[in-house]
Amino acid sequence: MKQEEIDAWRQQALADGRLLIGGQWRAAEGARRLPVVSPIDGKTLCQIASASASDVDAAVRAARAAYERGSWSRLAPAERKKVLHRIAERIEAHQMELAVLGVRDNGTEIAMAFKAEPGSAAATFRYYAECVDKLMGEIAPTPEGTLGLVHKEPVGVVGAIVPWNFPLMIGAWKIAPALAAGNSVVLKPSEDASLTLLRLAQLCLDAGLPEGVLNVVTGTGAEAGEALARHMDVDILTFTGSGPVGRQLLKASAESNLKRVYLELGGKSPNLVFADAPDLAQAAKVSAMGIFRNSGQVCVAGSRLLVQRAVHDEVLERIQQVAASLRVGDPLDLRTEIGAVSSARQLARNQAMLQRALEEGARLRTGGQVIAPVPGGHYMAPAVLESVTPAMAIARQEVFGPVLAVMPFDDEAEAVRLANGTDYGLAAGVWTGSLSRAHRMVRAIQAGVVHVNTYGGPDITVPLGGVRQSGNGHDKSMHALDKYLNLKTAWIQL
């Protein structure tokens, strides 16, 4: 990756966005728009269209019409597979363009964005391309004289609502399996990061995805998102975002057509360091990045560090050193380790949560201050808090910012109690040299993923999703396909 190439793309002038409905790019009703403000320097990059309920209705109708036409839903699997591979090729061909566009929109450090956004989006399309012609039905073990066939069918129209952190990666986690299963999709990106998904939609058209199969309605959650959630002709909703919005979606489903709702929500993920961890320096370094990368705006961020008392002070000291040494700055500068906080609103929220922790008795070891490596931008120094107790808000509520809460524990039983002591259950980490302890912890901790002697990084082959108030669905892996398929039984008397 070369700095000159990044700098060339950062100069690119951006046109105002439109909605993609039925294969046509069009303005929102009344030509309403929302400004796109870059967190890098607070400047307005362009505008996106702000969809109304009637725009969303048009998108759902286009998706339904495309589904009924069958140009995608009934296309031979081998042909669908080719199109999904071509989409992956186009993402790869535009990898740097997409990465820089996304960073301008949401402030993720470029080295990470390059891999995690277009890099993983391309891998996701390739993975599900390969699944298309391997989706088998079943023959049930029925009594003689009968035949029970189980068909797997697309559900129809999928509504996908995604957040602003890693929009391309998370968008691909939903769009690619939904398309692989033969569905049509109406995508509602976050109003805080829509640009890469709009570009992806054009790449999908260029790759030969039939008109109307993928529709994109940008706009606010309260208007465009709500209209999609309440639409009577959307068959399922697949959502990644916050718990409060997840609750609203369940309510919208209950009050409309009972569409299936899959929720990938937040977390307050525990990262446990035992005294027998093989390499405390490595544990501290990886754990620091496990919370601070992308300014803590990662759903699986290890935001609670639980450390066995015998090594508590040493690990805390090491984490403090790593945190204080991280270079926070312009996310499009290759030397930057931590980029921008995505918006002024998010920065204010981080600061308020930090302030509350201090008022409740936590002590700040390092960081936490608002800084300005680029004038006008939103940046915060990685914060490490000690003397945190389980009752404090900082130990229970998601910040979604660069704030680490450190707590000691004495033994395994206390570690498990603390780890499971929130309403969430998204991710966890365990650092230990004992294979037996590692397996015990994997079973005891309530989470969708438990990392052992590492934090973060699983690829597309394994599922990601939470338990408890972290949600009820899984993205990634073959399991994600189940969300986008209906089972239909044929019962035949022979």
Does the protein bind ligand NAD through residue 171 (CB under 6 A)?
A: no
- From candidates 111, 229, 277, 416, binder to ligand NAD by CB under 6 A: 229
Q: Is 148 exposed, middle or buried (0-12, 13-18, 19+ CB in 10 A)?
A: middle
Q: Of 154 and 471, which has the nearer Cβ to ligand NAD?
A: 471
At its nearest, how many Å lie between ligand NAD and the CB of residue 249? 6
**Of the listed 191, 299, 386, 398, which one is catalytic?**
299
Does the protein bind ligand NAD through residue 299 (CB under 6 A)?
A: yes
- From candidates 106, 183, 215, 248, binder to ligand NAD by CB under 6 A: 248
Does the protein bind ligand NAD through residue 190 (CB under 6 A)?
A: yes
At its nearest, how many Å lie between ligand NAD and the CB of residue 264? 3
Residues 6+ apart with CB under 8 A from 313: none
Strands 236-240 and 157-161: parallel
At its nearest, how many Å lie between ligand NAD and the CB of residue 218? 9
Q: Which amino acid is at 285?
A: K
Q: Of 71 and 220, which has the nearer Cβ to ligand NAD?
A: 220
Among the residue ranges 66-74, 236-244, 307-315, 316-324, the one whose residues contact ligand NAD (CB under 6 A): 236-244
**Of the listed 117, 223, 264, 398, which one is catalytic?**
264
Among the residue ranges 128-136, 239-247, 287-295, 454-462, the one whose residues contact ligand NAD (CB under 6 A): 239-247
Does the protein bind ligand NAD through residue 167 (CB under 6 A)?
A: no
The CA R_g of the chain, rounded to the nearest whole Å, is 23
Neighbours of 472 (CB within 10 A): 16
Among the residue ranges 25-33, 145-153, 198-206, 261-269, the one whose residues contact ligand NAD (CB under 6 A): 261-269
Active site residue 299: yes
Q: Is 278 exposed, middle or buried (0-12, 13-18, 19+ CB in 10 A)?
A: exposed
Q: Of 210 and 241, which has the nearer Cβ to ligand NAD?
A: 241
- From candidates 36, 103, 245, 362, binder to ligand NAD by CB under 6 A: 245
Strands 403-409 and 383-386: parallel
Among the residue ranges 20-28, 262-270, 370-378, 479-487, the one whose residues contact ligand NAD (CB under 6 A): 262-270
At its nearest, how many Å lie between ligand NAD and the CB of residue 173? 8
- From candidates 55, 105, 191, 235, binder to ligand NAD by CB under 6 A: 191
At its nearest, how many Å lie between ligand NAD and the CB of residue 465? 7
Burial of 21-46, coded b for 16+ CB within 10 Å and e otherwise, reads: bbbeeeebbeebbbebbbbbbeeebb
Apex 383 CA angle, 379 and 388, nearest 5: 145
At its nearest, how many Å lie between ligand NAD and the CB of residue 188? 6
At its nearest, how many Å lie between ligand NAD and the CB of residue 353? 13
At its nearest, how many Å lie between ligand NAD and the CB of residue 362? 21
- From candidates 31, 140, 222, 492, binder to ligand NAD by CB under 6 A: 222
Q: Is 82 exposed, middle or buried (0-12, 13-18, 19+ CB in 10 A)?
A: middle
Does the protein bind ligand NAD through residue 175 (CB under 6 A)?
A: no
Q: Site for ligand NAD (CB under 6 A): how many residues?
A: 30
Among the residue ranges 93-101, 114-122, 240-248, 304-312, the one whose residues contact ligand NAD (CB under 6 A): 240-248
Sequence length of the chain is 494
CB distance 223 to 49 below 8 Å: no
Active site residues: 264, 299
Contact positions vs ligand NAD (CB under 6 A): 161-165, 170, 188, 190-191, 221-222, 225-226, 229, 240-242, 245, 248, 264-267, 299, 398, 400, 426, 464, 466, 471
